[in-house]
A and B are shown apart, each in its own frame.
Chain A
Amino acid sequence: MPRLSNIQFLLTVGLLPCLLVVMFLFFVIMEPRFLDSANLVNIARQSVFLLLIAMGQMIVLINAQLDLSVGATVALTSVVVAMATAATAGGPESVLVGVVVGLVVGGAVGLLNGFLVAYLKVPSFMATLGTTSVLTGLALIISKGAPIVGVPLILTDSLATSSILGIPVTVLLGAALAVGVGVFMSRMHAGRDMYAVGGNRAAALVAGINVKRTIILAFVLCSVLASLAGILLTARVGSGEASLGASYVMLSIAAAVLGGTSLFGGEGVLWRVVLGVVFLGVLSNGMNLLHVSSYVQELVIGVVLIAAVAVERFRETS
């Protein structure tokens, strides 16, 4: 087998995995605590929320669309789930109520976004910008701008703090969903159709694919994943907050694109998006451990993001 030169290796594997390894080693050397199992579990737990939302964003991006409303979906889910569970007795049924109500919110938001984009032909950027405002407004109206308290403890105990064999339930859930989304996109008929619709909508239509239904399904999946993140976040903070989730809009797009998902549709692989999420998680955790100020962190994330995407583009064109 011919030996690959360094450059060739970079070009075939891509920059992201290499950068991840380098960064990981850097933090290990700079701060031994980084490698503590507690810290690694912490990174994983922190990353699950972004992972769910970024996977949804990836699905929508593959369809050549964009969902700016994921953050507002998290917020509305949080408020509604908190209200619904606060009204229950606090037994195991509270968890069921919380999850079902949260998923219904996500499903409804996805249907709305999908309908606006597929049937009313509103560009997804504008449609989801609009729904962002609508959902945020709804969340603020329902919560009257204050955190909703009274979320039963069992919600936090079961979804946020419990663990199986030392691995947090949140992380197991995230891993299972990642496998599910991966299988869906690469092995299922509906996932394959999404690559076709995003890659060339006219050709997909002529080939007999139901383009509108495919796009709606993508938005529903994205919103449902965002609402799942909303449920988990609510369980974790123990109250309903209309301010949750706003930062995830840009981060989810960043993670997806960092993972090689095309902004123009038709391209994107799940495992690379997972790497993108892990990358952002490790970067932020490591900088926290090194006491890098949050202002500097913002700046570093921006620079790394631009550099990584620019290099990926270079790899594609060379």
Chain B
Amino acid sequence: MIKKVLIRVLVLLLIVVGLNFMYVQTLYDEDLQTHSKELLALRSSIDTAEVYYFGESSNTTFVPEDSTHMSISSLCAQFYPSLHFRNINKEATHAGIYRWWLKEFDKAGKLPKAIIVTLNLRSFNAAWINSTLENSLQAALVFSKSGPPIVNRFMLSLQNFDVRSNSEREEDMLYDWKKRQLHFPYTFPYHTVREWDDAMANGGHLTEDGQWDLKKIELACHYIKAYALCLDQENVRVEDFDAIYQWCGERQVPLHLNLMAENVQYADSLVGKDLVFLMHKNRDFLMSRYNQKHCRVTDNLELVPGNEFIDQNWTTEHYRYRGRMSIARNLAETLKKDLEKEYLKVY
């Protein structure tokens, strides 16, 4: 009986190999288009593109009144007219996704001249790490995994990726806010995000007539939850950036981390110097960790003034045209250190 079973298992395996071939020829691209557009864009450009820009919505968010609707990556590409830039963007994406995208270069056996990766300070916070958008991001990643494409497609159907309910993710986020300690070199009354947020929520801002200024309080609470964290190597996002750093180092691909501008001005006015202190501290941590050897960090943290942010009542990295232009110029300048011959000063 064992022989009989083994023969059939072998035949089934052969059938799967044949079906995989058929799938790749017929339905695979359509599936990528539906579930992982970015991967398709990346794969189809590997032979031609020379510089890659991996980013999220900060790269491509515009407002109608902007004088031009050019992304940061496109604006930066203007400084390198002889190079083919390619931006791979997806909303809410992060280093945990980019690190998988890099593996596509290994599969194709072709490396770019430089890789630019968005370094978003908020992507290290508990809300982003435990975002409800994470399921769809992880689902899109299934096609990046090694293994026959048809098997990856089946894994997607089996939901064999980090899939959790919104309530589970929220639970993890709340736990982090409650437990993770904040460290200051001076005495500070609040030890966790939760404590700080609670204090702010209980009348942190008053209107002129002595009432609670609810709009300001709400926004200030957002700022606390977005930026009140002390980065260390245990942060899952730091692990992801470490992996990107290592991947580029092993292959001698120049890596540029584009530290996005945050609304430090509003953080200061809404919450105060303590929050700005943490933002600086985290920036310094990232700079000292990654700004070495084959990697350069472009520091845009305080480059964009508060009124140049599109979202005035929320914490985002969406900039008006001038903000995007400043970041692009700053990035182009840093990039020059690796691509000096191709650089052309355009503004």
Answer yes or no: do A and B interact.
no
Which residues of B are at the interface with A, using a C-beta cutoff of 8 A? none
